[in-house]
Amino acid sequence: MELDSLFRVVDVTGVVASGLLGGAVARSKRFDIVGFVSLAIITGLGGGMIRDVLLNTGFPVALTDPAYLGGALIAAFVAYVVRLDGALPRRALAFADVLALGCWAATGTIKAAGLGLAFMPCILLGVITAVGGGMLRDVLVGRTPTVFGGNTLYATLAMLGGAETWIFTEILKRPQLGMLVSILTTAVLGVMARRLGWMLP
Amino acid sequence: MELDSLFRVVDVTGVVASGLLGGAVARSKRFDIVGFVSLAIITGLGGGMIRDVLLNTGFPVALTDPAYLGGALIAAFVAYVVRLDGALPRRALAFADVLALGCWAATGTIKAAGLGLAFMPCILLGVITAVGGGMLRDVLVGRTPTVFGGNTLYATLAMLGGAETWIFTEILKRPQLGMLVSILTTAVLGVMARRLGWMLP
Amino acid sequence: MELDSLFRVVDVTGVVASGLLGGAVARSKRFDIVGFVSLAIITGLGGGMIRDVLLNTGFPVALTDPAYLGGALIAAFVAYVVRLDGALPRRALAFADVLALGCWAATGTIKAAGLGLAFMPCILLGVITAVGGGMLRDVLVGRTPTVFGGNTLYATLAMLGGAETWIFTEILKRPQLGMLVSILTTAVLGVMARRLGWMLP
Contacts of A118 in chain C (CB under 8 A): 64, 66
Number of helices (H), then strands (E), belonging to chain B: the values are 8, 0
In order, the DSSP letters of C166-195 are HIIIIIS--HHHHHHHHHHHHHHHHHHHHH
Question: Other C-beta atoms within 10 Å of A164: how many?
Answer: 25
Residue of B56, B144, B147, B159 for testing the chain A interface, max A β-carbons within 10 Å: B56
Q: What is the pLDDT of residues A32-76, one digit of tens each?
A: 888 999 999 999 999 999 999 999 988 998 999 999 999 999 999
Q: A32 and B201: CB-CB below 8 Å?
A: yes
Answer yes or no: is pLDDT of B5 > 80. Answer: no
**Is A35–B148 a contact, with Cβ atoms under 8 angstroms apart?**
yes
Coil/strand/helix, residue C87 = helix
Phi, psi of A49 (to 5 degrees): -70, -45
Q: What is the pLDDT tens value at each position of chain C, 201 positions in all?
A: 566 777 788 788 889 989 998 998 899 888 888 899 999 999 999 999 999 999 998 899 899 999 999 999 999 999 999 887 788 888 888 888 888 899 999 999 999 999 999 999 999 999 999 999 999 999 998 888 877 766 568 899 999 999 999 999 999 999 889 999 999 999 999 888 888 877 777
Percent of chain A as helix, strand, coil, to the nearest 5: 80, 0, 20
Partner residue facing A149 (CB), from C30, C64, C140: C30
Q: What angle do helix axes B33-55 and B2-28 make, rounded to 10 degrees?
A: 130
Domain range annotation of chain A? 2-196
Amino acid at A13: T
Measured CA to CA, the distance from residue C95 to residue B23 in angstroms comes to 32
Q: Averaged over A195-201, what is the pLDDT? A: 77
- Cβ of residue A70 closer than 8 Å to a chain C Cβ: no
Q: Which residues contact A112 (CB under 8 A, 6 or more apart)?
A: A51, A55, A121, A122, A124, A125, A126, C63
**Do the Cβ atoms of A42 and A133 come closer than 8 Å?**
yes
Average pLDDT, chain B: 89
Contact of B177 with B110, CB cutoff 8 Å: no
Inter-chain CB proximity C54 and B60 less than 8 Å: yes
Contact: A39, B155; criterion CB under 8 Å: no
Identify whether the C-beta of residue C175 lies closer than 8 Å to the C-beta of residue C108. no
Mean pLDDT of A182-191: 92
Q: Is the pLDDT of residue B134 over 60?
A: yes
ipTM of the prediction: 0.91
- C172–chain B Cβ distance below 8 A for any pair: no
